[in-house]
Amino acid sequence: MRVAVIQQANSADLRANQARSETLIRQAAAEGAELIMLQELHNSLYFCQSEDVNCFDLAETIPGPSTDWLGKLAAELSVVIVGSLFEKRATGLYHNTAVVLERDGSLVGCYRKMHIPDDPGFYEKFYFTPGDAQFNDGRCGFTPIQTSVGKLGLLVCWDQWYPEAARLMALAGAELLLYPTAIGWDRRDDEGEKQRQCDAWITVQRAHAIANGVPVIVANRTGYEAPPEGDVGIQFWGHSFIAGPQGEFLALADADTEQVLLADIDMERSENVRRIWPYLRDRRVDAYGDLTKRYRD
């Protein structure tokens, strides 16, 4: 199966961002992609650099305008599209939500981001309520979404640092792990610190592929985005990538280029890898009770 990641630089012009995303989606489909994923909150700038109640105007319902747009594209191109939206569930209740549009244009699943950061430049707790369940589904949020290209274990950005999230998706039958992302450097950090952060981000996600024997697909932003005032902004570090079930790179983007990143994934190989490295077989579930505690005192 050929998969594609869209690595994009955004501006304050929402229509221009959408038009650029559509151009890149069409390019990916023309190059044979069956599954296409966009970056986190792809419609707008990464507005979470500051706390501003006016930014709630960017939120939309699901289904809504963006799912309609993505659904029409998915149906026209006969591809599965993964998008990432600022969801208005109700007034005063908002989520960072990933959506899946099937080849026929139908909305087949949503995932509401479970881990919500609150750090300088990433004030997401001001905007987002943690996910509690899949959209219109009473199951746990860590539940794969069934599609024509396989069971997608869809997670979002800060979720990617948590092995528990990846494991729970794998335990529920996920055949691929997908991470739409918006992460970058503080320009005040020195080059060594920047490299360590980017390397850690890549390494932890490759480890999820290895520990669960499934491919991992990661879409990140590129380009510089400044907040309205008072900070140096974020230089998004790109480096979107696609890794196989042993963490091997199948495709890796650079830091600064908008691009369609393509790779061919052999789903049968994942089956074979899990046969020779049967981590799920040897898990000591009888001894893991403390994982449900905040901290073991």
Annotated active-site positions, please? Answer: 40, 113, 157
Helix (H/G/I), strand (E/B), else coil: 157: helix
The two structure tokens encoding residue 135: 């959209």
The encoded tokens of residue 108 equal: 């087949």
Name the H helices within the chain: 14-30, 65-77, 163-171, 191-212, 267-276
Query: Are 218 and 240 spatial neighbours (Cβ–Cβ below 8 Å)?
Result: yes
End-to-end Cα spacing for the chain: 47
Residue by residue, DSSP assigns 107-167 as EEEEEE-----EETTEEGGGT-PPP-S-TT--S-SS--EEETTEEEEE--GGGGG-HHHHH
Q: Which residues of 186-221 are buried (b: 16+ CB within 10 A; e: fewer)?
A: eeeeeeeebeebbeebbeebbebbbebbbbbbbbbb
Contact present, 39 and 219 (Cβ < 8 Å) = yes
Please report where in the chains the tokens 């650079």 appear, as a residue.
254
